[in-house]
């Protein structure tokens, strides 16, 4: 509680003017933004989000088109399975929720691609309900300011949600601001690489700072696998080819994308298994 007030005040003066924070942006827009923001930097989401919502202003609009259109429109945002799940989400919302994005966390959690973070983000930011919202930024701020650790360890949903819940003001509207404010603080001040403690509104109560910025001691997070030469890269190459082609892509064209036949076939098979690619005779297309 000693951090909610100063962080809220800081937020009201320093928050970025992001599209999904504009009044009347709508629950659908916020849901789409949260899908796009999963593991993807804010700056890369702005334009695709605007194009997406112009094309599909409601869940029913998206549900009405073939899922392949969603995969194509996803473009280079990364993790294209999110496009499949967002489309599936639109179908469920249209068929089971009357075309209205649900506002209860437990209803939101039933939607494809909606997990603990996204469900609460929608309930809080779109509907104003009072829940803790915990993303990577929030986890880092709490690890530093409260726990005195340089970085958060592995995620632990219950512990992380409880820690954030303990910081929230009682009032729904204030709690909503605090959720956005701590996330924003982690995004632009208490950053992973070079935190700007001189600009931090809670530097005077930060446990990490008070302890002299000790290095992180805890379970090492698994190193991210190298991308170059990975199956992910091959999947990306194949899907990029399909995205930019209006007609089915032949095996010969796919062979030109990657020399290792075994890896190419493995990547292709996994894309088919995911539903991102379908066989069309002896050729391949995005799903219809």
Partner DNA sequence: AATTCGTGGGT
Partner DNA sequence: TACCCAAGAAT
Q: Which of 11, 35, 17 is nearest to 175 (CA)?
A: 11
CB of 267 to DNA, least distance (A): 7
Assess 8 for contact with DNA (CB under 7 A).
Answer: no
- Show the site string, 251-280: x = touches DNA by CB under 7 A, - = not: -------------------x----------
Assess 224 for contact with DNA (CB under 7 A).
Answer: yes
For residue 217, count other CB atoms closer than 10 A to its CB.
10
| Spatial distance between the Cα atoms of 48 and 262, rounded to a whole number of angstroms | 34
CB of 248 to DNA, least distance (A): 19
What the block records as the tokens of 176 is 């909503």
Binding segment (CB under 7 A) for DNA, from list 13-21, 98-106, 203-211, 246-254: 13-21
Cα distance between the two ends of the chain = 51
What the block records as the tokens of 95 is 């068929």
- What secondary structure does DSSP assign to 163-226, as a single string? HHHTT--SSHHHHHHHHHHHHHHHHHTS-SSS--GGG-TTGGG-HHHHTT-PPP-SPPPPPPPP
Query: Exactly one of 118, 131, 161, 202 binds DNA (CB under 7 A); which one?
Result: 118
What the block records as the tokens of 47 is 């334009």
CB of 130 to DNA, least distance (A): 18
* Residues 6+ away with beta carbon under 8 Å from 244: none
Q: Is 147 left (phi over 0), alpha (psi -120 to 50) or beta?
A: alpha
Assess 25 for contact with DNA (CB under 7 A).
Answer: no
Q: Is 233 or 250 the residue whose CB approaches DNA more closely?
A: 233
- Show the site string, 66-95: x = touches DNA by CB under 7 A, - = not: ----------xxxxxx---x----------
Assess 209 for contact with DNA (CB under 7 A).
Answer: no
Choose, from 9, 34, 103, 241, the residue flagged as catalytic. 34
34 as an active site residue: the answer is: yes
- Show the site string, 160-189: x = touches DNA by CB under 7 A, - = not: --------------------x--xx-xx--
Beta bridge partner(s), residue 278: 285
Assess 222 for contact with DNA (CB under 7 A).
Answer: yes
Assess 232 for contact with DNA (CB under 7 A).
Answer: yes
Q: What backbone phi and psi angles, to 5 degrees, belong to 4?
A: -60, -45
Assess 192 for contact with DNA (CB under 7 A).
Answer: yes
| Spatial distance between the Cα atoms of 98 and 113, rounded to a whole number of angstroms | 19
| Spatial distance between the Cα atoms of 92 and 98, rounded to a whole number of angstroms | 9
For DNA, the binding residues (CB under 7 A) are 18, 20-21, 33-34, 37-42, 44, 76-81, 85, 112-119, 121, 135-137, 140, 151, 154, 180, 183-184, 186-187, 191-194, 221-227, 230-233, 235-237, 239-240, 270
Active site residues: 34
């Amino acid at each position: 509680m000693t951090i909610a007030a100063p962080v809220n005040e800081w937020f009201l003066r320093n928050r970025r003017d992001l599209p999904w924070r504009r009044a009347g942006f709508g629950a659908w827009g916020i849901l789409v933004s949260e899908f796009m923001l999963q593991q993807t930097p804010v700056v890369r989401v702005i334009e695709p989000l605007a194009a997406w919502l112009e094309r599909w202003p409601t869940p029913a609009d998206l549900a009405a088109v073939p899922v392949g259109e969603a995969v194509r429109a996803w473009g280079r945002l990364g993790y294209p399975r999110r496009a499949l799940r967002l489309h599936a989400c639109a179908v469920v919302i249209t068929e089971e929720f009357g075309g209205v994005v649900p506002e209860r966390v437990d209803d939101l959690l039933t939607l494809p691609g909606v997990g603990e973070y996204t469900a609460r983000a929608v309930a809080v930011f779109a509907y104003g309900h009072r829940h803790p919202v915990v993303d990577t930024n929030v986890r880092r701020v709490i690890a530093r300011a409260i726990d005195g650790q340089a970085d958060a360890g592995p995620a632990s949903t219950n512990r992380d949600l409880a820690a954030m819940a303990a910081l929230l003001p009682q009032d729904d509207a204030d709690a909503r601001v605090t959720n956005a404010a701590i996330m924003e603080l982690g995004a632009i001040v208490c950053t992973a690489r070079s935190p700007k403690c001189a600009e931090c509104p809670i530097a005077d109560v930060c446990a990490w700072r008070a302890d002299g910025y000790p290095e992180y001691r805890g379970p090492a997070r698994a190193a991210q696998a190298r991308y170059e030469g990975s199956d992910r890269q091959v999947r990306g190459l194949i899907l990029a080819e399909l995205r930019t082609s209006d007609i089915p892509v032949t095996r010969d064209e796919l062979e030109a994308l990657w020399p290792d036949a075994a890896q190419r076939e493995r990547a292709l098979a996994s894309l088919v298994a995911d539903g991102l690619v379908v066989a069309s005779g002896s050729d391949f297309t995005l799903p219809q």
